[in-house]
Structure 1
Amino acid sequence: MSSLSTAFRRLRAPIIQYKRETIPTPDGAVLHLDHHNDNEQNEIALFMPGLTGSSSSEYIRPLVEIASSIGYHSIVLNARGTGNNRLQTPRVYCCANDDDLRTCLTHLRRKYPSNKLLAIGLSFGGIILSRYLSLTGNESEIDAAFIVSACWDFPVNCENLERLSNLPLNRYLTQSLIEIVEQNRDLFEHIPNVDLKRVCSSQTLREFDDEFTSRQFGFKNADEYYRESSNYKRIHRIKRPTLCLNAFDDMFSIGPTLPCDRIENESDHVAMLITERGGHIGFMDGLWPVSKTARPYYLERLAKQFLLAFYRDMDKNFLSNF
């Protein structure tokens, strides 16, 4: 199930009242952290939404509610330009750059030095999370991770997104990214090598990334950007207990491209759970999953088990055994 249809059908997402914190970045921008169940003594669950998502996204709010009910201090890291906020500088975000996550973690570790921190990344957020974990290894500021619907091999999956059946969702996400550019047009009008007319006429993610994202982050083109964004070759470098959830029918990360062999043969810290169906951040089940009486979706049930397992064992030095 696509992220668009998931957004339409996840009608049971709770209303979450956040407390917003704004922190500066080294390049003069700001990041917005939305807190729930804010208690300095609580262990931290850090959430990272999808490509154009935020703390208000329908797939984030149920997970925040679950984590907070267990006892976590839930924090959502909103990417630049998302979460009802304009950009402060002419820079957005991309799958091949984890600077903002590092800024966030430095801030949280300074503010909560003794709290365990579990990170949950979905789609784009999962890509950034896997990148950070694979690049930092044993130096990671994260104690454990749950990665949902991440794309591990971009070139093949981007071709899949350009198939006729997937173009509506591709164009929807492209338009969502264009809207961020349009809302901050004054910041981008004088950037070298960026033609805003061509950017805003993009019909696919590849066209947008060719005209905008790759140029913002110093790549020659979208192909080079996609190669650098693919984390499957680095997955063995992850040194924190990490659970990955993917659906075999996810159009963003189709089954044959999932790094199962690499995890099985090269990694001691990563496990991947693959469902036959579930689409992209969908994982709904039952005959009528949108019913008010339907049980929680599979994603929420699994997340709850994962969050509970670590929460119960944190005071027993469970994480130190990895």
Structure 2
Amino acid sequence: MPLLTSNYKPVFYFKNGFVSTVYSGLARRVSLAQERERITLSDGDFLDLDWSYSESKTNKLIILLHGLEGHSKRPYMTGAAKLFNKNGVDAVCVNFRGCSEETNLNYYSYHSGETKDLETVIKHAISTKNYSEIYLKGISLGGNVVLKYVGEGNDVPNEVKAVISISVPCDLNGSCKELHKVKNKLFHDRFLKDLVNHLKTKQKLYSNELSLEEVNSIKTLLDFDNVYTSKAHGFKDALEYYEKSSCLQFLPNIKIPSLIINALNDSFLSAECYPVKEAKTNHNLFLEMPNHGGHVGFIDKNNIYYNEKRALEFTKTMLKR
């Protein structure tokens, strides 16, 4: 598919990627009423889902997946849910395992390539809620998850009509290297602090699996993935985890209309995270690369972000194909 020309033009002070990223993460506020549902997974663990609804009865649903150490109430989740609700679409904001203010029950939790829980949510929405049109939207890590899900050979239900992915680290190893650079130290250290704090809680429950000494040895995000993420989820090490979980390799197989919006000034993304070749050779893959937006910082008018408007536009356009 030809690459899409972006119309995103923020005011001058949000053209800086660092400023737009930090502002969106710390200053944005979105008010949205949500109803929580807890579902039990096949391995005995649980997922917490936060639902919000259109004013009128609808058969349409958007499933939203957050980024690393995010949760269902982050503004980039609730902002999209609110906009879709106002346009006749129900929304469910998924909390990955251990991300809803309660440690999950198993030693393993979630990671960039884990798609089985998403599959469970989709089946739950179809079987118990009777939705016949479902859209998937993932942010950052969640974007990698949804693209991998629709490209890795799953039997994707016919009800899934479109996919939108924002600020996607399509190549996890490349993105990891960027996050370890001096330019991203603030973000790196914030992610690491949250991850290690959660891991310390889990270590107390699973001291036979993980020692406190191993937790204390973690000094970087790469260390975290070597010590915990890879081992807990069946990978040899962090590099194997990145290699097998990156969505980039699965993009040529995508058969459902899928939009990727990755800003060119996103400091988290390496050159490999802009899948130009893959978009040019797959008519179902649409790639938009705005000059601005940072990492999930597509600030626009009336507290409705550009990527949220584009997601709504894309779902409407794809249904007319």
Cα pair 1:137 1:237 within 8 Å, conserved: no
1:220 and 2:236 equivalent? yes
| Equivalent AA in structure 1 for residue 305 of structure 2 | Y
> Displaced runs of 4+ in structure 1, greater than 6 A?
none
- Structure 1 range deviating more: 213-222 or 132-141: 132-141
| Uncovered stretches (5+) of structure 2, i.e. residues with no partner | 1-16
- Offset at residue 104 of structure 1 (A): 1.2
Percent identical pairs in the alignment equals 25
**Number of equivalences:** 301
Deviations 1:235-268 (A, max 9, x none): 0111101111001121222345411012102x12
CA 200–125 in structure 1, closer or farther in 2 if over 3 Å, else same? farther
1:1-322 correspondence runs (5 A): 1=17, 3-10=21-28, 13-37=29-53, 41-136=58-153, 139-140=156-157, 142-191=160-209, 194-255=210-271, 257-265=273-281, 267-284=282-299, 296-309=304-317, 313=319, 318=320
Distance 2:131 2:91 in 1: 16
Q: Secondary structure at the match of 2:63?
A: strand
Distance 1:16 1:283 in 2: 20
The higher-RCO structure (CA 8 Å, 6+ apart) is: 2
Cα pair 1:133 1:238 within 8 Å, conserved: yes
Normalised to the residue count of structure 1, the TM-score between the two structures is 0.86
Distance 2:131 2:312 in 1: 23
Distance 1:236 1:32 in 2: 32
| Uncovered stretches (5+) of structure 1, i.e. residues with no partner | 286-292
Distance 1:99 1:227 in 2: 18
CA-based RMSD of the aligned residues comes to 2.2
Normalised to the residue count of structure 2, the TM-score between the two structures is 0.86
Distance 2:272 2:170 in 1: 11
| Equivalent AA in structure 2 for residue 160 of structure 1 | E
Tell me the residue number matched to 1:288.
none
Distance 1:256 1:301 in 2: 26
Distance 1:40 1:199 in 2: 48
Cα pair 2:174 2:272 within 8 Å, conserved: no
Cα pair 2:140 2:169 within 8 Å, conserved: yes
